[in-house]
Amino acid sequence: MTVRKSAPGRGATKRASRSKAPAATIAAAPESTAAEEAAEATPPPAIGAVDGSLAAAEAATVQTSFADLGLSAPMLAALRDAGYVHPTPIQEQAVPLALKGRDLIGLAQTGTGKTAAFTIPIIERLLDGPHRTRALILTPTRELCVQVEESFKKYGVHSGLEVIPVYGGVGYDPQVKALRGGVDVVVATPGRLLDHLEKQNVSFDELEVLVLDEADRMLDMGFAPQINRIVAQVHAYRQTLLFSATMPPEVEALARKYLRKPVVVQVGRRSGAALTVQHFVYPCPKEKKSALLTELLNTKAMDSVLVFTRTKHGADRVVRHLEKEGINAGAMHADKTQGQRTQALEDFKSGKVRVLVATDIAQRGLDISGITHVINYDVPQQAEDYVHRIGRTGRAASTGDAFTFMSADEIAMVRTIERVIGQQIPRISVPGYDFGT
């Protein structure tokens, strides 16, 4: 797939080179036979989407410009400033519907531009309106909260709108001052926002738009009670937009509870892996994984690598090993302070370190241009987590590689992942590391 400038907030990057497998491929992956979906529908009574072709949707989108979506002059100017011309499929379908005030369920793989799909129409709606809190976006993580804030600032640069991120781990008083002073858009994680609501630091009496971003992840993290308490304080006559990478029954129940006759926009399969990512599995005993990682980093064209471990201690242990081998690396997990997490992310974005080792705290919400490789040091226990992890590369029509280190006791988990994504993943045997040799 060619790299094109698209997907606001999802900067496309050209790969310097496509990496080659270091050893013979034992099993080749066939083409996925599952039908790709990309369509919209009004679902009475069931929530669903019309089947379609993702490839066809992408091809049609190339012919569509943001000017064709009926956006205002300030918004088009902001998009031009950012260098974007063509919307992604989810943006092309969702933006016009959101501009009409429809409640919306947006289902798409990570890296397809969901953030801009709701940021753009919200900014359009708030242009030239009264200065009050009129939009609330709930996100599961601090990192995603900051990313959404940055998206609003980028595409609202000519709007004069004020946006504030509200999350824990940082100073409380500056948030109180900003909320009581009045802002147009609040982007928040549920826990810290509830704290402010209970102390009456913010009121949503005049809220017009509510967004539940990464809804499946919020429910996975146990935020359902907090979401219910927050939405109870929001005016019933509002527009509600729900975006999610997957649609488990819990998310569907949430949508039925809070959305009114929603239109469903779905791009790709609900559990589909990114089509711009190549997958490989490396059989390797647990005790040799760090050495295999070092060898790959030293012999392959890996410019920007995100490594996932199952535990926080495992992430720190991998970083220590890499630094001992002379490879700059940083760690990102829940035991790190917010300042440390932010610094690690900035170092990775800037290229100061080319390897970021993280737990699943980073599987959602990281929008970093140019991640060339995602490596699953530990196989994720949930197949859905695999989809979200590898979605950190191959973003916005760019390409990427996803490597998974599989020990003997992780074979069953890999096979489950293959069933979920609808394809077999090639095994790469590296002499001296494969537990079968």
pLDDT tens, 171-218?
A: 899 999 999 988 999 999 999 999 999 999 999 999 999 999 988 888
pLDDT at 302: 82
**d(Cα 27, Cα 428) in Å, to the nearest integer?**
8
pLDDT at 110: 66
The pair of three-digit structure tokens given for residue 390, joined into one six-digit string: 């590898």
Where are any strands of DSSP class E within 128-267? Answer: 135-138, 163-166, 185-188, 209-212, 239-244, 263-267
Whole-model pTM: value is: 0.60
Distances (CA, A) of 136 to 70, 193, 204, 278, 362: 24, 10, 8, 37, 23
The pair of three-digit structure tokens given for residue 345, joined into one six-digit string: 């992310």
pLDDT at 289: 95
pLDDT at 235: 85
Half-sphere exposure of 39 (CA within 13 A, CB side): 13
Instruction: Check residue 429 and report its DSSP letter.
Output: P
Q: What is the dihedral of CA 149, 151, 262, 197, to 10 degrees?
A: 10
- Asked whether 344 and 331 are in contact (CB, 8 A), the reply is yes
**d(Cα 344, Cα 217) in Å, to the nearest integer?**
22
pLDDT at 259: 94
Domain 277-421 of CATH type 3.40.50.300: yes
What is the assigned CATH class of domain 38-267?
alpha beta
Q: Where are the domains of the chain?
A: 38-267, 277-421
Most confident range, picked from 244-248, 351-355, 419-423: 351-355
> Please, what is the angle between helix 190-198 and helix 224-231, to 10°?
40
Distances (CA, A) of 153 to 110, 184, 188, 306, 392: 21, 12, 15, 26, 22
pLDDT at 392: 55
What does the pLDDT look like over 18-74, one tens digit per residue?
343 443 333 333 333 233 333 333 333 344 333 334 444 444 444 788 989 989 999
Q: Is the pLDDT of residue 427 over 70?
A: yes
Q: Is the pLDDT of residue 365 over 70?
A: no
The pair of three-digit structure tokens given for residue 118, joined into one six-digit string: 């709701």
pLDDT at 52: 38
pLDDT at 393: 54
pLDDT at 170: 85
pLDDT band per the 50, 70, 90 thresholds, residue 401: confident
- Span 243-266, average pLDDT: 88
- Asked whether 292 and 430 are in contact (CB, 8 A), the reply is yes
Percentage of residues of the chain with pLDDT beyond 90 = 42
Q: Regarding predicted confidence, which is higher, 129 or 23? A: 129
What mean pLDDT is reported for the chain?
A: 79
**d(Cα 310, Cα 54) in Å, to the nearest integer?**
32
Is 38-267's fold the same as 277-421's? yes
What end-to-end distance do the CA atoms of the chain give, in Å? 36
- Span 298-321, average pLDDT: 88
pLDDT band per the 50, 70, 90 thresholds, residue 322: very high
pLDDT band per the 50, 70, 90 thresholds, residue 238: very high
